[in-house]
């Protein structure tokens, strides 16, 4: 951005974008005007006070401001869900080349590996459906286009190395403990596998000035582009 001549700018991210934009905001706070996230990243060295309020919200739901989150908030059941759904993460964080090389050799294997995520991560209830509920939010052409980007470029291995590189980098752990004082918005996906983070928790790591809940899962910009864009534009407008 600086090379393009922009000394001040806004950032938006989800998934790895949420992690990268959070790190950028911590390292370059003088350049980032505001940060908009559709996923609260679980950074290495997470805030202990946030963890306390996470558990308190489970024990006393009324301490949470979101009525939707009050209904189901349970950090321990969420942890169990993450154990079930993050086998890929452990594999990619330890042996990315082993898995990646195999996927680069099989288009069917690559498709199965990638498309499965668009079922479960859109809504965990899709796991019980015969077709995985894939076409509830996406067309087959859209899903195959994503697979083909990986297949034609042979870049599944490099995408998986992200995990190993991050988890081995001690700088990320140190930065994970640093508070983000930059104005931050959180567009929380009600079906986000890695989110549903109450503002009472996230505000101990970020300066949360805006919070909205949207009917979307993990792939926010893909599933609900209009509501997400509206959240971004409203956030920027309110700041000005």
CB 39 within 8 A of CB 194: yes
Catalytic residue, from 53, 113, 163, 206: name it.
163
CA distance 198 to 103: 37
CA distance 181 to 204: 10
Catalytic (active site) residue 15: yes
Catalytic (active site) residue 105: no
- In which order are the strands placed within the sheet that holds 9-13? 9-13, 32-37, 180-189, 206-214
Catalytic residue, from 36, 73, 204, 218: name it.
218
Catalytic (active site) residue 218: yes
Q: How far apart are the first and last CA of the chain?
A: 21
DSSP string, 150-168: HHHHT-HHHHHHHHHHHHH
Nearest by Cα to 138 from 18, 39, 222 = 222
Catalytic residues: 15, 163, 218
């Amino acid at each position: 951005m600086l090379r393009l001549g922009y000394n001040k700018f806004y950032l938006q991210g989800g998934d790895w974008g949420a992690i990268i934009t959070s790190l950028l905001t911590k390292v370059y706070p003088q350049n980032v005007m505001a940060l908009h996230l559709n996923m609260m990243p679980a950074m290495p060295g997470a805030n202990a006070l946030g963890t306390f309020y996470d558990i308190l919200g489970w024990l006393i739901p009324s301490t949470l401001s979101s009525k939707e989150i009050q209904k189901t908030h349970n950090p321990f059941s969420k942890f169990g869900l993450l154990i079930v759904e993050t086998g890929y993460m452990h594999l990619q964080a330890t042996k990315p080349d082993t898995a990646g090389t195999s996927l680069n050799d099989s288009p069917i294997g690559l498709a199965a590996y990638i498309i499965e995520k668009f079922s479960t991560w859109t809504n965990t209830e899709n796991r019980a459906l015969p077709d995985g509920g894939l076409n509830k939010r996406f067309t087959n052409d859209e899903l195959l286009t994503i697979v083909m980007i990986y297949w034609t470029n042979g870049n599944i291995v490099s995408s998986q190395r992200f995990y190993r590189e991050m988890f081995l980098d001690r700088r990320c752990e140190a930065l994970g403990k640093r508070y983000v004082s930059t104005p931050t918005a959180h567009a929380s996906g009600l079906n986000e596998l890695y989110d549903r983070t109450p503002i009472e928790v996230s505000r101990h790591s970020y300066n949360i000035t805006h919070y909205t809940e949207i009917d979307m899962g993990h792939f926010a910009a893909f599933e609900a582009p209009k509501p997400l864009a509206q959240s971004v534009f409203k956030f920027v407008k309110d700041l000005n």
